[in-house]
Amino acid sequence: MSDDWIRASEISTYLYCRRAWWLKRKQGAKPQNVHELQKGTAHHQQHGRVVWRSIWGRRVAYLLLFITIAFFTYRLVIG
């Protein structure tokens, strides 16, 4: 881990326990809850995929709505 960058997770670690942050960052101590950290990482990755799909789903819905409105407007004007 680079000493130049401080990650958001480090800030939360620091706010929760300054000693834990110091042990991890300066002394290189490894966390004891590796399994829970891996499960949390997997959960966040899955949640990110769900959010990504919902964003694209909304975009497709807006596109279909626009096409539908454009079609009916065209039919109304042209007759």
In this prediction, residue 2 carries a pLDDT of 56
Chain segment 30-53, per-residue pLDDT in tens: 888 889 989 999 999 999 999 999
Q: Which pair of tokens denotes residue 38?
A: 């891996």
In this prediction, residue 61 carries a pLDDT of 98
- The answer to whether the pTM exceeds 0.75 is no
For the chain, the structural domain boundaries read 1-30, 33-79
| CA 1/CA 49 separation, integer angstroms | 26
What CA–CA distances, in Å, run from 60 to 31, 39, 49?
Answer: 43, 32, 16
Out of 23-37, 45-59, 63-77, pick the least confident.
23-37
Chain segment 8-27, per-residue pLDDT in tens: 888 988 999 999 888 888 88
DSSP 12-49: HHHHH-HHHHHHHHTS-PPPS-HHHHHHHHHHHHHHHH
